[in-house]
Structure 1
């Protein structure tokens, strides 16, 4: 059976522009078996957690990244409850079914992770992964209850491509709220959760992780700009052009490659 690591639309595979003769643009790997694809998703998931730990996105037991299982797409792999991002390895990941039961793994699942991610995955069958954490600038920006403005090249990746969920009701313990978050996300790559933080999705684990990292930094940049004065937005036409250049699924996947190389070299035990 031939299995592809991600369902990235063919139209985005040339998002980086035409390659010179003899130069092949890299793309997500293709796998011969489901087992190989599952292992790769779990490896990218563990690497994403290590990166989140490295960047200080952890806040106690809060935060989670999920990846669909390639054989059972209603099930997903996720971090176990109460394990620090910086210490997660492939063997620590747990598999959760559509009812929130742990199918594989030694530790329980975070209830909020299941309530949010199960509904996000249900609402977006086109995506493989979703990422959410209580990162400092993401949650600070979320308290403003408005969307990111196109004030930097990087923030243009999210221009007219992220939602806003304004109905904060405390810790998410019910799937009904996860369903509302999924609706607020809509067809976009990200959603700002008022008074809570940010959530991103992707056609690969790498893409979802990259959107979270760069969205957190875009939140930080806008907060800094607002503190210094009145940020001047990029015009609509240019912002849309930049989004086409930097905001595609392939671009998101590729942007994480340097960080992947870095974390694998620094922390090879993530593959344990």
Structure 2
């Protein structure tokens, strides 16, 4: 297709749908966004999906001792958030051992301690951005390695295009463990209008204004994209990049918060069927 024709290409008419992936034909099995009758019902749903995100991280091999923290804002009390317990393996997180913490790092519900680094980073982001409902971070192999390069992802594929102009590289406090509150504020400042960050010499972070499912899936996807780019670079051959226009087009259709949520539904179904203890 010529550049002239590409620029003239009209936007897709979604006919009121959120995404082109939603079927136009009625009566087909397809994940639907949940609707809640009460805060309690909504809270239970969020806690179950937070646990599923932790279990998904375990399956991906994202564990590293006690490092790694996932959070989701409480639907009734936005000044507190649910998170995984300190020093509990992702595979052992369940609804009953989640903790509820405030922006000062104080545990207001639950028996376990809160991860100090998790409190510093996540509390700062949640407090600075009331629209952000969930956040994920873990010390992963490929994301940590890629973060040492101090550069953004390139649009080498449709998958990577999901992050085109939608992630940042944070150089502040690079390599210094985030246990002081000021470090959290610097990370929080970077999350204006993006869903992901590469923290130099540290690793990956994702945030969602939609759901914990979206934050978790985009973290999994970001780790995978970092691995793919390093594999390509290891060949010594310069990759052919997706053009900016095509990268933006792909991001619009495969990089949204809704699509992240939708991807996670397959993960949820698999975990619900094979790890029912997560709901204990």
**Aligned CA distance change for structure 1 residues 12 and 137 (closer, same or farther; 3 Å):** farther
**Aligned pair 1:135/2:134, yes or no?**
no
Aligned-pair distance for 1:17? 4.7
Instruction: Report what 1:108 is aligned to.
Output: 113
Alignment check: 8 A CA contact 1:67 1:76 kept: yes
CA-to-aligned-CA distance 1:29-63 (integer Å, 9 cap, x gap): 01000000000000000000001011100111110
CA-to-aligned-CA distance 1:121-156 (integer Å, 9 cap, x gap): 122211210000001100000000000000011111
Instruction: Report what 1:246 is aligned to.
Output: 254
Instruction: Report what 1:30 is aligned to.
Output: 35
Distance in 2 of aligned mates of 1:176 and 1:160: 26
Q: Compare 170-179 and 14-23 and name the one that shifted more.
A: 14-23
Structure 2: gaps of 5 or more residues: 1-14
Aligned-pair distance for 1:27? 3.2
TM (norm. structure 2) is 0.90
Alignment of 1:14-163 (within 5 A): 14-17=18-21, 19-23=23-27, 26-163=31-168
Alignment check: 8 A CA contact 1:15 1:244 kept: no
Aligned-pair distance for 1:185? 2.2
Where 2:42 maps in the other structure, the secondary structure is helix
Instruction: Report what 1:190 is aligned to.
Output: 196
Distance in 1 of aligned mates of 2:140 and 2:19: 29
Pick from 227, 232, 253 the counterpart of residue 234 of structure 2.
Answer: 227
Aligned-pair distance for 1:12? 9.5
Higher gyration radius (CA): 2
Instruction: Report what 2:219 is aligned to.
Output: 212
Distance in 2 of aligned mates of 1:108 and 1:208: 23
Where 2:162 maps in the other structure, the secondary structure is helix
Where 1:36 maps in the other structure, the secondary structure is helix
Distance in 1 of aligned mates of 2:132 and 2:33: 14
Instruction: Report what 1:264 is aligned to.
Output: 272
- Paired positions, count: 262
TM (norm. structure 1) is 0.93
Distance in 2 of aligned mates of 1:46 and 1:12: 32
User: Aligned-residue CA RMSD in angstroms?
Assistant: 1.5
Where 1:256 maps in the other structure, the secondary structure is helix
